[in-house]
């Protein structure tokens, strides 16, 4: 009987083990159920691969000029046609993906870091600290984002790096206010009060307890903000305040080709299509993450 009992599996233990699922696996399963989110993820991965492999798959260099082939229509030799300098548009779009994604990722990274830091400080300490930081956010949000970005670039000077800095600055309030509202609710939880009661230092409470429990909205906002940053970078490039020639930034390509809208519409169509698809991909993926990670959306 003892040997039989040892070899007989405990159904209770089996059930408990089967029910324990890592949170990331559950989130991934929920994400995979959203077909549009998967489409967005596929678009994003596709453009990231294109950006990484641009030197390998681009048929020409993005600086190569051949004036005898200027403004050629799409063909087997030049799939997306050529621009007014005879440069291959497909090659420039592939290399331009590097610039747009680089600006999108690093500008959002900068705004997320500084915005999160300011939002945590404002929400945790409150009082006059919260008032000062919140008023700064309100002043920045009072200006249209593109006008504020233009002002920053006008002060720093037109360049791709300064455009990245400007985009990071104008997105700081979005992350700051989001994190501040989350911290205001998290700091009222019992485990935070218990940590204060035992004398735990503020920096440990902030970065070991409050920040990890505030990451969900930051991740969702960051994904959506990358799409916005790509559009803002293209807008600054279109105005001549972002990437400078001969860098193949998509907004700059649109600006250089706007006078050929009737004569050579492909010079505008393909860069515009690249911007639209990339932004669409990040927006669809961000919406899917929000549906998975936001408890209100689950309900």
**Residue pLDDT, tens place only, 211-263:** 887 788 888 889 889 999 999 999 998 888 888 878 888 988 898 888 888 88
User: Is position 11 within any domain?
Assistant: no
What residue numbers bound the domain in which 95 lies? 32-56+82-298
What is d(CA 226, CA 44) in angstroms, rounded to the nearest whole number?
Answer: 11
User: Is position 2 within any domain?
Assistant: no
User: Is position 121 within any domain?
Assistant: yes
User: Is position 23 within any domain?
Assistant: no
User: Is position 73 within any domain?
Assistant: no
The mean pLDDT values, 10 residues at a time, for the chain of 299 residues are 51 49 71 86 94 91 86 89 90 92 93 92 86 91 89 89 92 91 81 76 79 83 91 90 85 88 89 93 89 63
User: Is position 263 within any domain?
Assistant: yes
Provide the pLDDT for residue 20. 56
CA distances from 113 to 56, 107, 149 (A): 34, 10, 19
Question: For residue 49, what is the domain's CATH number?
Answer: 1.10.3720.10
Which of 288, 253, 250 has the alpha carbon at shortest distance from 31?
288
Provide the pLDDT for residue 281. 93
- Give the total number of structural domains in the chain: 1
User: Is position 133 within any domain?
Assistant: yes
What is d(CA 81, CA 221) in angstroms, rounded to the nearest whole number?
Answer: 37
User: Is position 103 within any domain?
Assistant: yes
Q: pTM for the whole thing?
A: 0.84
Which of 233, 222, 224 has the alpha carbon at shortest distance from 275?
233
Cβ pair 242, 157 in contact under 8 A: no
């Amino acid at each position: 009987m003892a040997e039989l009992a040892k070899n007989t599996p405990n159904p209770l233990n089996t059930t408990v083990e089967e029910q324990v699922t890592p949170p990331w696996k559950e989130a991934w399963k929920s994400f995979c159920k959203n077909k549009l989110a998967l489409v967005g993820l596929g678009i994003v991965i596709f453009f990231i691969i294109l950006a990484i492999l641009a030197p390998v798959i681009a048929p020409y260099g993005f600086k190569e000029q051949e004036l005898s082939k200027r403004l050629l229509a799409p063909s087997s030799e030049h799939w997306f046609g050529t621009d007014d300098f005879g440069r291959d548009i497909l090659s420039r779009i592939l290399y331009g993906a590097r610039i747009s994604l680089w600006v999108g990722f690093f500008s959002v990274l900068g705004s997320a870091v500084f915005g999160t830091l300011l939002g945590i400080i404002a929400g945790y300490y409150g009082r006059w600290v919260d008032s000062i930081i919140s008023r700064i956010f309100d002043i920045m949000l009072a200006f249209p984002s593109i006008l504020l970005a233009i002002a920053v670039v006008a002060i720093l000077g037109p360049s791709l790096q300064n455009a990245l800095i400007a985009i990071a600055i104008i997105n700081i309030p979005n992350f700051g206010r989001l994190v501040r509202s989350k911290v205001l609710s998290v700091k009222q939880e019992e485990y935070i009060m218990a940590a204060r009661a035992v004398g735990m230092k503020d920096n440990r409470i902030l970065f070991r307890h409050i920040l990890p429990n505030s990451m969900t909205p930051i991740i969702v906002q960051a994904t959506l903000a990358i799409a916005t940053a790509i559009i803002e970078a293209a807008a600054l490039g279109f105005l001549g305040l972002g990437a400078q020639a001969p860098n193949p930034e998509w907004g700059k390509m649109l600006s250089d080709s706007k006078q050929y809208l009737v004569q050579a519409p492909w010079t505008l169509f393909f860069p515009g299509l690249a911007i639209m698809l990339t932004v669409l991909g990040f927006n669809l993926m961000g919406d899917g993450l929000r549906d998975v990670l936001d408890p209100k959306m689950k309900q």
